[in-house]
Structure 1
């Protein structure tokens, strides 16, 4: 059958409930369609209540939040910022915005996140050269907590502040504590494919009232306290709109249910597909970690199957099923061809072996059966 004979199954589409429209309609009825308003204030309070962070600044994207976070940490031209190689480019781009230089760190094979051993190598090299990095960005890939205890201990030992990129990890926890609250600054994304969406958006969280005030100031074009438009600092148009914040408020009411559903989807795939030779699932969830399982990821072992992830992706497309390769490591990207990397073998292998399956929280049992059937068609029939 042709792909057109099937309805499209997307990787991670938005999943709205019944309450988002109430908040959006109220904003329109009250004419609060400006970039500020009650929904924006309420959304920031909701995020603080859920995460335990003292302050939240809702922004246009997670990228904007990383950018402001780096500026708060004093990152500027000539500085170096350590960053995992295995992540989306938005993690590293703001380093360039600030005129700084990224230094990439390989993953470890369990959680797929930044490797503490490679991180120590980079920190010790920086100390030896009397050039410690200005900041360390950590990422919780696909919602899986990184090895926080070890990583935070290393950051403290070398005196390097941590910016926690939890863009994919809202609703995940480490030893009971919500992710996004372990770093000096935390960042979330509410892009359309995330577990919670505002169509487009993000947030910066911090326990510092002064940093939250400064982030808001920069995010609203850095307008001085004057009756006319006066600007003494560089600012940005980064504030989330009151209308989109209304979508976020409705989404926050559903977050725990969405996490539960994504974890169930991951468990369903494992139960029904893990017995196929050459197929496994990851990343692994260590004791003390609780992942939101934003996306379910599989790995194909070339020693046990001749099928490649791209062949599987193309086969799924014939059934109108969207899947996607794992993130291409940043040290392999042309943009960063001259950037220093510590390791790279682990995340490179993960990239060559991995594929993300449809994981949207609105998936039905029939949807899951359809994906599983298409996977078996290729892998079991080879």
Structure 2
């Protein structure tokens, strides 16, 4: 079966969404309109000036992303699967299946796809401000993110995750929430993107034990990185790290800052324990709401607690952010183990491979790799040390 014929039924299935909440709506696509979601390769070639480097917006583990102009004048972003990538086909079909079934103002909109011969592409709405990391970690641009905008991004991402976890037709765990996967529209409204690693949880399932660990070190929850325990709290942990980045204006791992400050989560916890939490706030910010900033830091730490049970779910997070009278509990010790490194990874835990040093660099983008090692080689003795 060709990928094209495999995808067509997905288009016909993609539509109904939950009626819960007011920020999402039913996909109006009917079976007869399914072919409108299939883009012709030649059309995309013309739209992107034959995938010119001048049109390239970025490059990730999936492959390059290009800006395109359709014949009707619509601007689009074309995500092109790298032909050399060792990852991608599964992620490609996974992303199509998921995004055609969900719509929310804080999720990127998939317009369709192209699958002709070896070429596989996803076509999205074009978002002119690229991703959050382009602003947040560039001191020349971060000043354009005043506190009000940062707080709206914090709350917008929370609403998007709440939809995925609780209000979508089936529960979806993103597995790769990070600054580069938060796109910004012309009004800096955040939209969660890149669902290639997302995991669908049908029925009432709330967690799973998996042998394949996929995500980004630095954002990855320790119970998932070390034990393969995947749940909605995995996304909550990543969200907590992201919130701390938004408030501090720095990456979660930055060795240039010295050993005390290199790991953002450890540093934030140290400041919190010492009653100096306001020192974490981005120095480039002018005026800001001190109460909101302090609340966001405490919320980030709550989301990053080592204890899975103690972490709030996204429903509680949304309540904390939207309520003026909500009192946040004191956070417990954050989960530090299993977060070493700051590059994007896809880690496969192979039970039959007993060589922990067997590392192969993949060709799917800067800094990405696949690592195979024995599950028994991972020490989890220091994982849950309590508070």
Q: TM-score, normalised by structure 2?
A: 0.23
Task: Report the structure, 1 or 2, having the larger helix content.
Answer: 1
Q: TM-score, normalised by structure 1?
A: 0.24
Give the structure, 1 or 2, with the largest relative contact order (CA under 8 Å, sep 6 or more).
1
